[in-house]
Structure 1
Amino acid sequence: MELNRNQYFFAGILLVLIGVQMRMVSSFVLTPEVTQMLAKPTAVAQGDSPPTLAIAGGGVLAPGAKKTVRPPEWLGWCLMSVGSVLILHSLAMKKPD
């Protein structure tokens, strides 16, 4: 499948908006359900029992624990840059028939 001008433009806009959001928000707090869902693959690999699950980079989590994700500062700039290049690329392409 070949991407056309409109799809490049949409992907660029989407990446720019996600990049702006990453720059404006300092951290995301996950719900306990999502935290447990992310912890299950590492718990199986480490052989832990389900009540005490471990996340890579963290310790052992209680059943109601919430994980905080802090994206690096460069991630927002990177997403905005790639999105801007995609938008400019879409404007340089010919219009779809």
Structure 2
Amino acid sequence: MELNRNQFLFIAIFLALLGMQLRMVSSYVLTSEATRFLAERALASADPVGALAGTTPALPATLPAKVVSPPDWLGWCLLSIGAVLFFHSLTMGKPSG
């Protein structure tokens, strides 16, 4: 499948907005459900055989909220890719049909 001008423009805007959000926010605090989900996946990936057998260790009832701090370069990277895709979409021809 070949991407047309409108799809490139949508991806560009999405990546630019995501990059701006990552530049404006320094960290994200996950909910307890999201923290538990990540902890379960981390235990399963640490012991894949035990996860298949159902013998993974139990998690505590309460987990401290996980704080995710994306690196500074990630926001700049997404902004840059979004800008390049935006200008690329402007140079493409209009979609037919």
* Count of matched residue positions in the alignment of Structure 1 and Structure 2: 88
Equivalent runs, 1:1-97 vs 2, <5 Å: 1-44=1-44, 45-46=46-47, 48-52=56-60, 63-97=62-96
Q: Which runs of 5 or more structure 1 residues have no equivalent in the other structure?
A: 53-61
More helix by share: 2
Report the RMSD for the aligned CA atoms in angstroms: 1.5
Return the alpha-carbon distance in structure 1 between the equivalents of residues 71 and 32 of structure 2. Answer: 23
Cα displacement string for residues 34-72 of structure 1 (whole angstroms, at most 9, x for unaligned residues)? 1110111222334652224xxxxxxxxx62321000010
Give me the TM-score of the superposition, normalised by structure 1: 0.83
Q: Which runs of 5 or more structure 2 residues have no equivalent in the other structure?
A: 51-55
Return the alpha-carbon distance in structure 2 between the equivalents of residues 51 and 5 of structure 1. Answer: 48
Return the alpha-carbon distance in structure 1 between the equivalents of residues 33 and 58 of structure 2. Answer: 13
Return the alpha-carbon distance in structure 2 between the equivalents of residues 33 and 50 of structure 1. Answer: 15
- The one-letter amino acid of 1:4's match is N
Match of 1:57 in 2: none
Higher relative contact order at CA 8 Å, sep ≥6: structure 1 or structure 2?
A: 2
Give me the TM-score of the superposition, normalised by structure 2: 0.83
